Amino acid sequence: MAQAIVHLSSILRSPLLDRAGERLGRVEDLIVRLADGGYPPVTGLKARIGGRDLFVPVGRVAQLKPGAVRLAGETLSLGRFERRVGEVLLGQDVIGRKLVNVEAEPPRLVTAHEIELACIDDWWRVVGVDPSVSAQLRRVLPRRLRTLVGDRPFLDWADMEPFVGHVPSARLRFSHRKLANLHPAEIADLVEAASHEEGEEIIEAVGHDRELEADVFEELDEHHQLEFIRERSDAEVAAVIARMASDDAADLIVEIEQERRGRILARLPAAQRRRIEALLGYNPSTAGGLMSPEFISLREGDSAGAAIEKVRSSSVAPSSAMIVYMCSKDGCLQGSSSLVTLLRAGADTRLEEIVEREPISVKTDADLPEVARTMTDYNLLMLPVLDHDERMVGVVTVDDVLELTLPAGWRRRFGVVRD
């Protein structure tokens, strides 16, 4: 970007001059509208003149440079400054606050120690943020010493998602557009790396997409799940749990205090409640406790085309739809077929002609080491789980096993950290 960059810290508390260069007061802050997206435009100044906070529209600014702001025209409105909906004060609301760098790999939280401004097409805009320690030092040094601190490359503001929910009168939220492009696990990492207030704001932002909110809750660790549902009503918690996968929902339900558990379960859709209650009957460290009761099964005589259509119309999670199972009328497992095998077969091919007979399985009481060993030995991504009457009751997927076998704090070790 060829435009000259101006640091916000060089403008804040600098003299406000009239047209003739005489001092009128002091620049308290710059006002922008983050909701406009892209590079937010500066819409005005908050100025201190004669002991009063005044609003100066950006159209009255003739020159904005480090150390001073000069106004144009002969008159100045003396109306008191009042924040309008959608307005954000850069110094008060953004400096020193956390932002999300959504373009980092992985996405990470950064602190806005400095804001960079540039005049683009005759309009001052926020173009970058500097999270470096140098920027923090320059901001706290006396103005005459700030030039001793060299500039560092700044991060492009277009890659940022700001935290501004704490602004009392504006109560702005994330645009959600940038966050929605992240994987739920990346969003969960950000929540876990943030303060409670910041994490709550991220969850509030993704809450506009109820399915995404549930996906993020599934990815949060137990501590953060409980932290964020503690402040929600039973109805709000039930709304989130109703959209979660049954096995993840059961893991969360069992951690909720007993007095709330029944009330929340009662608010769930009947089918989801029955699935969760069935899972709660198993030891959580066994295949029964690990499994998802949601899988795709057909019967002998059904065709490959019918199986593919059932996969297409099913709401089962993709990780649990890679294998289709053939079961008897009473639910006993008879065979399995990968989705690839079904796609390669003719649509009229009967399942019994292509399924693998007597697929590897475990009983509901198999412990985690047995489940992990079985899946490793046979290179399985999915493992069917049978009850003691040989009826298929669920599947364990490889991600279920990995989540429990990786060391505690693995996301913090390999994922998002605070700057």
CATH code (residue 47)? 2.30.30.240
In sequence order, what are the residues at sequence separation of 6 or more whose Cβ sits closer than 8 angstroms to the Cβ of residue 273? 265, 266
CA distances from 247 to 94, 211, 271, 409 (A): 40, 16, 14, 21
For residue 276, give the amino acid letter: I
Q: Is the predicted pLDDT of residue 385 greater than 70, yes or no? A: yes
In a domain, 410, yes or no: no
Per-residue pLDDT band for 76 (boundaries 50, 70, 90) equals: low
Residues 73, 192 within the same domain: no
CA distances from 244 to 165, 288, 290, 298 (A): 26, 18, 15, 24
Q: Of 252, 280, 308, which one is at a domain's C-terminal end?
A: 280
Let me know: does 288 contact 313? Beta carbons within 8 Å.
Answer: no
Q: What six digits make up the tokens of 395?
A: 């599947």
Query: What pLDDT shows up at residue 377?
Result: 95
Residues 116, 225 within the same domain: no
Over pLDDT 70: what percentage of the chain?
A: 85
Residues 15, 63 within the same domain: yes
Query: What pLDDT shows up at residue 306?
Result: 96
Per-residue pLDDT band for 172 (boundaries 50, 70, 90) equals: very low
Residues 144, 155 within the same domain: no
State the angle between helix axes of 196-206 and 222-229 in degrees (0 to 180), rounded to the nearest 10: 80
Let me know: does 296 contact 324? Beta carbons within 8 Å.
Answer: yes
Query: What pLDDT shows up at residue 168?
Result: 45
The CATH number of residue 391's host domain is 3.10.580.10
H-assigned helices in 267-391: 270-280, 287-290, 304-313, 339-344, 368-377
Residues 154, 266 within the same domain: yes
For range 9-20, the mean pLDDT = 90
**Residue 154: DSSP 8-state:** P
Residues 155, 265 within the same domain: yes
Per-residue pLDDT band for 37 (boundaries 50, 70, 90) equals: low
The CATH number of residue 232's host domain is 1.25.60.10
Query: What pLDDT shows up at residue 340?
Result: 94
Q: How many domains does the chain divide into? A: 3
Coarse DSSP helix, strand, coil percentages of the chain, rounded to the nearest 5 percent:
40, 25, 35
In a domain, 362, yes or no: yes
In a domain, 411, yes or no: no
In a domain, 417, yes or no: no
83 or 148, higher pLDDT: 83
Indicate the average pLDDT of the chain. Answer: 85
In a domain, 418, yes or no: no
Residues 229, 254 within the same domain: yes
- Min mean pLDDT across 300-304, 348-352, 404-408 is at 404-408
For range 181-198, the mean pLDDT = 86
**Domain residues for 250?**
99-104+150-280
